[in-house]
Chain A
Amino acid sequence: MRYIPTSPAERISMLREIGCERIEDLFDQVPESLRMDRPIGIGHPMSEPELIEFFNSLASKNGTSGNFFLGAGAYSHFIPVIIDSLISRSEFLTAYTPYQPELSQGTLQYTFEFQTMICQLTGMDVANASLYDGSTAVAEAVLMADRVTRRNKYLIAESVHPQYREVVAAYTRNLGVTVDYIPVSETGAIDPRRVAVDDRTAAVVVQSPNFFGCIEELNSIASAAHQAGALLIVAVAEPLSLGILKPPGHCGADIVVGEGQSLGIPLSYGGPYLGLFATLEKYVRQMPGRLVGEALDHEGNRGYVLTLSTREQHIRREKATSNICTNQGLFALMATVYLATMGRRGIQEIARQNVQKSHYAARKIASLKGYELRHQAPFFNEFVVNTPVPAQEVAERLMQKDIIPGLPLEGYYPDMRHSLLVCVTETAKRDAIDKLVSELDRIR
C-alpha cells in the first residue's frame, strides 16, 4: 500500500520490539469471536490509472453538457481559478481545527477575515466560523432563539426553502416546540400583516430572496416580530444578492443565516457547502459554532485564537449551545478568497449582472403566449413562470434539447403544477437565454 511508509521489514522489527510474534497479536484485546475471518468484500485494490478510469466513467453517466437554469438553494456562478490554487496549499488543506493557535495562525486569520466579511455582507455584528450548510444553519438559529427568548413557538414562512423547513422540523421534533407556517401571498412574498406573533413566539423565520426568488419586506416583518418580543431570523440562500439588496441587519434581523455556496464554491451535487451564521453582539454567548477572536502574545504581537469556547460541546458537553464540532473550515476559506478576489466592485458587478440577466429572461418569457410571471414582488436572480402545460412536461421536453429550464414546483407546492422556478445568473450567456426562450415558445 503506497500510503503506508513503513516497509514490511520495519514492521516486523517494530512488532518484535513491542513483544508481538505476529501482526494478529496486536489485536489481542479484541475477543477472538469478534475478529473477522474473511475479507470485507470490496475487492482488490485499484491502481491510480484504474481509479481515474472508473470515476471518469461514472462521471460520464452524469448529465448533459447543455445549459441549466436551476437555482433553488444552489447557484451557478463564475469561480475565480485562484481559489482552487490557494485552497490546495497543503498547509490549509491538510490541517485540522486550529487547536494550537501558534501553529495555526493562517487558518485563524482567514477565519477572522471571513467572520468580518460575513458581518459586512449581512449587516450584523458578529458571525461564526461556519456551520454545515444553509439548512442546518436555519435549524441552529431556531434552537438559539429558544435559548434567547425561552419561548417555544415558531412562525416560518412557507416561502422558506422547503428542504430548510424539513430540516427545522426534524431538529425540533423532540423539543416540545410548535411550528406554524406563514402563507405566501399572491405577490410571492409574505404579507407582513399576516405575521401573527404572540407572547409565546420565539422567532419569525423568513428567507429573502425567498424560495421563489422574491424579496421579502424585512423591515415590516421585523416590526411585527419585535412588537411581541420575538426574534427575526432571516435566511439568505443567495448571498450574492447582498451585493445589491439592503442587508437584513439594516432591516432589523436578529439572526441572519445563510448558504454560502454562491461565494466561490462548486455545485458538487449539493455539498460540501457553507453554513453562514451571524447575529447581534448581545447574543454572542448564545451562538452555536466556533468563533475566532483577536489576542496578543506576551510581546504584544497580534494573533488570533478560538474564543468563547465555553459555549461549545468539548467544554460544556450537554449544556453546549450546539453539538457541532467539525464545520466547513476549508469552504470558509474558499468564500474568503472569493470575496477578496471579487472585491467590493466585483461583488457589485456580479449582483448587477444577475439582476439584469434574470430580468431580461423574465421579460422575454413573460412575453411568450401562454406564459406569465406568477409573482409581482421584486426578485434578484430567480423567478417563477406559469407554464401553458404542466411544468414537469415543459422540463421533460426541454431536456430532450439539452436544456434544464428550471425546477418544476409541483413536488414542493402541490398547487403549483404549472409553475417552473427559473434561475438566471451571470454564467448564462445571452444565446443560452434566447435559446431557452425560443424552445419554451414551441410548447404551447
Chain B
Amino acid sequence: MKRASANIKKAKTHVVQNEGLLFEVSRPGKTGYSIPALDVPEVGQNELIDPELTRTDDLENMPELSEVDVIRHFTRLSTWNYGVDTGMYPLGSCTMKYNPRINERIARIEKLAGLHPMTPDRLAQGALEVIFRLEEALSKITGLSAVTVQPAAGAHGELAGMMMIRAALTERGNARKKVLIPDSAHGTNPASAVICGYTVDTVPSNREGGTDMEALARMMNDDVAALMLTNPNTLGKFERNIVEICELVHTRGGFVYMDGANMNALVGVVRPASTGIDVMHMNLHKTFSTPHGGGGPGSGPVAVTAELEPYLPYPRIVRVHDGTLGMDFNRPRSIGRIRAFYGNFGVLVRALAFILTHGDEGLREMTEAAVLNANYIAHKLKETYEIPYPGRVMHEVILSDKRQLKHEVRNADIAKRLIDYGFYPPTMSFPLIVPGAIMVEPTETEGREELDLFIDAMKSIAEEAARDPELLKQAPLSTKVGRLDEVSAARKPILRWRPEAPPRTDRA
C-alpha cells in the first residue's frame, strides 16, 4: 500500500482556485461565438476601406475560447467573491441590502431593455413614464419640487447639484469662491466641488459628531457658495441643528447641498425638504437597492427646490399638450447636459420597482428596521468595542479599534479576521476623523440570527485580539489568497497582462 501511494503522481493545483487569466487559458483555433452567416453579397474590404486605415495585428492576443471555457472561467472567478446573497455585507455608508430578483426580471423585459435611446418620444412612452414616475416618487420622498435622474452615480449627482448652485449664484451676480464641507464627509464632496471651480474649507465636527455651530458661524461669509452636508452624517448621527444650519447659510446668501447617501435612515420618517436644504442627491444603488455589481452601475438622482428647478440638466421629461410624455430641451438657464441620453435607465426601472413594491408603509418599515438593526449592533458591541460617538445612531454605527490597539491589533486585522468567520468586513478607516474606524451598516435586510452571528464573531475576534493577536495578523486564512502586498503593487504597477511579461517576484 505504501509503495503504491508513493508512486501516485499528484496534481499540484486545485483547478477552481487556480484558474488563470483569460489570456493564459486561451488556445488558438477555439471559438465560442454563434452568429448568422453574412447574407449580403460580399465586396472586397480593401475596396470599401483604405487598407491604410485598418489594423495589421490580426487582433493578436485577444482570447480564443469555447463557450464552455468561458462559462467555467467566470464561474470559477465568481466563487472567489462574496455578495449580499452570500451573507451579511455590513459595509458602512454603502447600504448593501438584498437586491430583489423580481427587479432584475423587470429590467430585462425586452421592450425596456431593447429600446434604443434615440427612439422617437412617441414610440418610447413606456420608458418616459418610468422616468416620469420615478422622478415624481423621489420628489414625494424628499419633499423637494423637482428631480432629475440623469446623473449616473452619487458623485455625478453631487457634481450636477453643485453646478446648479453655481449657476444660480452666477445669475445673482457672484458665483462666490468657497464650499464648506465637514471633516466627516465623503471624499467625493470636495472632489465634486473642485470641478465646479470652488475651493474647499473644512468645517470641524463637534463632540457629538454634529457640525460645530460656532465654527460654521465663523466660517460662513459672503465668499461661501454652499455647505455640503451629509445627513445623517457618516458617524450615523442625524444633524440635530440642521434647521439652524440651513438658516445660517441662507442668511449669508449660500445654499445647502445635502449628500443623501444615507437616505436609508430617513425615507418615510423625514422629508429632507422640511430641514431647509436646497438640493440633494440620492444613491439608487444604496437606498433603493439596485445591485452594485462589484463597483457599479449606480444612479444619483438630484432633487431641488423650486428656486433651483430652472437649472436642472436638460432634457426634462414633461407632459406635453396632447397628454403624452416628451422631452423639453428649451431650458435656457439649465446647467446643460452632464451625460449622454437620460441616465442609467436600467437602474431607474429597478428602483421604481423597489419603491412600488414597498409602497408608503413598506418604505417606512424599511427605514425603521434598518435603524433598529444598527442600534441593536451598537448596543450589543458597546462593551467590547470603543464607540467614539456613543448614543443612539441612525442607519449605521462607528466602532473603533482603540481597545484592541493595546494588543497591537488594528482595525484592518479585525476586518481580515471577520472574513474567516464568513462575513464581508465593514468599511475601514472612514470617516477620517475616527482613528481606526470600523463602520458597520447592517441595513434592514438582515435578520436577527444573522445579526447575532455577526455580533458573536466580533466578540470572538476581540477575545482573539487579547489572547492570540498573531492569529489576527495572519488572517484571512480561508481565502484563495492571503493579504496582498499593496505597497509593492503600487510601486511597480502591473496593470495589464502582456504575453512577454515576466512574473511578479517581489515578496510581501
Contact = CB atoms under 8 A, between A and B. Distances in A.
B48 A296 contact: no
A43 B112 contact: no
A213 to B, nearest CB: 12
Nearest to B378: A18
Contacts of B371: 26-27
22 contacts: A5-B446, A55-B112, A59-B126, A74-B117, A82-B67, A91-B82, A92-B293, A96-B295, A100-B415, A102-B476, A120-B59, A246-B52, A267-B114, A268-B112, A268-B345, A303-B480, A323-B159, A323-B188, A328-B297, A330-B293, A359-B43, A359-B48
Nearest to A44: B359
A404 interface: yes
Interface in A102-160: 102-107, 109-113, 115-117, 119-121, 125-127, 129-130, 132-136, 143
Q: Nearest 6 pairs between A and B by C-beta?
A: A330-B293, A270-B341, A329-B295, A5-B447, A270-B117, A346-B33
Nearest to A30: B238
Contacts of B81: 91-92, 95, 103-107
Contacts of A119: 496
A88 B104 contact: yes
A86 B65 CA distance: 16
B464 interface: no
A129 B342 CA distance: 23
Interface residues of B, number: 207
A324 B153 contact: yes
Interface string B239-273: 01011000000000000000000000001111100
Given A29-B392, A51-B353, A163 B337 contact: yes
A44 B195 CA distance: 42
Interface stretch (B302-310, B401-409, B485-493): B485-493
B99 interface: yes
A315 B187 contact: yes
B436 interface: no
A317 B363 CA distance: 33
Nearest to B56: A246
A207 to B, nearest CB: 12
Contacts of A10: 447-448
Interface in B291-318: 291-298, 313
B268 A40 contact: yes
Most interface-central of A72, A174, A308 (chain B CB within 10 A): A174
A420 B298 CA distance: 34
B129 A247 contact: no
A30 B269 contact: yes
B298 A326 contact: yes
Contacts of A308: 490, 493
Nearest to A216: B53
A51 B55 CA distance: 49
B453 to A, nearest CB: 13
A63 B119 contact: yes
Given A61-B129, A62-B112, A247-B55, A343 B64 contact: yes
Nearest to B28: A344
B345 A329 contact: no
B445 A169 contact: no
B146 interface: no
Nearest to A171: B195
Interface string A358-392: 01100000000000000000101000000000000
Contacts of B359: 42-46
B331 interface: no
A331 B117 CA distance: 18
B89 to A, nearest CB: 7
B323 to A, nearest CB: 13
Contacts of A426: 35-36
A426 B36 CA distance: 9
Contacts of A89: 74-75, 78
Contacts of A72: 118
A297 interface: yes
Given A26-B371, A52-B106, A296-B488, A63 B62 contact: no
Contacts of B74: 86, 89, 92, 110, 333, 337, 340
Contacts of B116: 68, 70, 74, 76, 267, 269, 404
A299 interface: yes
A176 interface: yes
B247 to A, nearest CB: 13
Nearest to B19: A109
Contact of A169 (B156, B336, B349): B336
A297 B106 contact: no
B65 A340 contact: yes
A97 B285 CA distance: 12
Contact of A269 (B191, B345, B447): B345
A59 B193 CA distance: 38
Contact of B488 (A1, A6, A295, A304): A295
Contacts of B119: 62-63, 68, 70, 269, 404
A30 B241 CA distance: 9
Given A91-B78, A341-B67, A112 B21 contact: yes
Contacts of A106: 77-81, 294
Nearest to A424: B40
A120 to B, nearest CB: 6
Contacts of A244: 45, 49, 54-55
A132 B340 CA distance: 10
Contact of B340 (A167, A215, A309): A167
A291 B94 contact: no
Contact of B109 (A56, A116, A353): A56
B30 interface: yes
A269 B124 contact: yes
Given A116-B21, A246-B56, 15 more contacts: A5-B445, A46-B359, A93-B99, A98-B295, A105-B480, A268-B107, A268-B115, A269-B345, A270-B341, A272-B345, A318-B200, A324-B153, A330-B294, A336-B22, A348-B59
A76 to B, nearest CB: 7
Contacts of B65: 340-341, 343
Contacts of B466: none
Interface in B13-58: 21-23, 26, 30-36, 38-43, 45, 48-50, 52-56, 58
B448 A6 contact: yes
Contacts of A78: 35
B6 interface: no
A92 B23 CA distance: 21
A35 B270 contact: yes
Interface string B314-356: 0000000000000000000001111111111111010001011
A293 B62 contact: no
A170 B335 contact: yes
A104 B82 contact: yes
B424 A62 contact: no
A107 B194 CA distance: 30
B1 interface: no
Contacts of B67: 80, 82, 341
B144 to A, nearest CB: 13
A4 B444 contact: yes
A305 interface: yes
A93 B243 CA distance: 39
A23 interface: yes
A21 interface: no
Contacts of A166: 336-337
A95 B54 contact: no
Nearest to B476: A102
Given A45-B358, A51-B357, A27 B269 contact: yes
B363 to A, nearest CB: 6
A84 B484 contact: no
Contacts of B73: 340
A305 B484 CA distance: 7
Given A63-B119, A171-B338, A293-B495, A272 B482 contact: no
A64 interface: yes
A17 B340 contact: no
A293 B490 contact: yes
